[in-house]
Amino acid sequence: MRKILVLVFALFAAHASAQPADTAKVKKPWTHNLVSGLNLTQVSYSDSWAQGGENALAYAMSLFGKSADDLSKTNWTTSYKFAFGQTKLGDQGIRKTDDKIDIESNLTFKVGTYINPYVAATLKTQFAKGFEYSLNAQGKTVAKQVSAFFDPGYLTQSAGLGYQPLPQIKTRLGAALREVITSDFNTYADNPATKSIEKTKVEGGLESVTEATWQLHSNLLFTGKLELFDPFKNFDIIVMRSDNTLAAKVSKYVTVNFNVQLLKEPPVRRGKIQRKQTLAVGLSYTFL
């Protein structure tokens, strides 16, 4: 599996280092886009405050970017999303609120107007430890670690056909290999039907990815992504990831973001759809 991943990225590297002679003269430079975000919330009460409340401190950082090499015969685009946030409420310890590493690289070969073949590779994981919190019989909060850096890690390599009916919408469908890698937290990769505990799960299947980028207004942008993976061995079990953001630019540096993420990852949570919703107001700065 790792050999396949290396092969895919080697193909990308070969594409970057050896351009065809007919495109060398018209080669355009790489274009890059890099946007950062920072949200801060702080509340503090004095001992004399009579109306009640809890001291609070929260922050969230994000870095989203895209690099593209658009030539006459090929388009190579790499996108990356990094996010991390924590909060502290009253006497509680610091808890994580956001944690994301999401990298995708896609090489499309331009052979048609709407439908074109592609190869792609993606990596998804997180930066820090993840915990679940519950109350014990004595009413005290107990923290149980359920994840860590690259535990789990998700690697996907795919090849197929892409279709772009509108400039705002593009979709692709292809055969894919999906690898789930764990170390200590094997729930994400283990097959409960077997006696042994599997730390790695490798599946072949069909992958569908649909992306939408819609400028609803001059200062209002919707971006959405729906990823589906249907393994060949269990066609009735579909892995689903959906990430949707509505961003409003209030001023040059101030933005409001409303994000909804949906996740269905059998056997985690028994295949139930997990939901995460975020409403953030903060500073945004475009580097590139």
In sequence order, the 6+-apart residues with CB closer than 8 A to the CB of 177 are: 1, 4, 156, 157, 158, 202, 203, 204
Q: What is the pLDDT of residue 22?
A: 46
Look up residue 82 and give its amino acid: F
Closest CA to 130 of 63, 181, 85, 81: 85
- Beta-bridge partners for 165: none
- Give kind and range of the element (H or E) at residue 67: strand 56-70
Counts of helices then strands in the chain (DSSP H, E): 2, 14
User: Structurally, what CATH architecture does the domain formed by 2-16+32-43+54-286 represent?
Assistant: Beta Barrel (2.40)
Q: What is the pLDDT of residue 52?
A: 86
Closest CA to 254 of 231, 275, 283: 283
Q: What is the pLDDT of residue 241?
A: 97
Q: What is the pLDDT of residue 46?
A: 87
Q: What is the pLDDT of residue 28?
A: 67
Q: Which two tokens stand for residue 252?
A: 């040059």
Look up residue 171 and give its amino acid: T
Q: Which two tokens stand for residue 284?
A: 């945004």
Instruction: Kindly state the DSSP code that residue 112 receives in the 8-state scheme.
Output: S
Q: What is the pLDDT of residue 26?
A: 53
Q: What is the pLDDT of residue 173?
A: 98
Q: Determine the distance from the C-alpha atom of residue 258 to the mean position of all C-alpha atoms in its chain, rounded to a whole number.
A: 16
CA dihedral 264, 267, 269, 274 (to 10 degrees): -10
Closest CA to 131 of 97, 168, 103: 97
Give the residue carrying structure tokens 């409001």. 256
Q: What is the pLDDT of residue 236?
A: 85
Closest CA to 205 of 168, 160, 244: 160
Q: Determine the distance from the C-alpha atom of residue 155 to the mean position of all C-alpha atoms in its chain, rounded to a whole number.
A: 12
Maximum separation of any 2 CA atoms in the chain, in Å = 76
Q: pLDDT of the chain along its 288 residues, tens only?
A: 444 444 444 444 444 444 444 444 456 679 999 999 999 989 998 888 888 888 999 999 999 999 999 999 999 999 999 999 999 999 888 999 999 999 999 999 999 989 999 999 999 999 999 999 999 988 899 999 999 999 999 999 999 999 999 999 999 999 999 999 999 999 999 988 899 999 999 999 999 999 999 999 999 999 999 999 999 998 888 999 999 999 999 999 999 999 999 999 887 777 789 999 999 999 998 887
Q: What is the pLDDT of residue 288?
A: 79
DSSP 3-state assignment of 216? strand
For the chain, domain boundaries: 2-16+32-43+54-286
Q: What is the pLDDT of residue 258?
A: 95
**What whole-number distance in Å separates Cα of residue 100 and Cα of residue 85?**
10
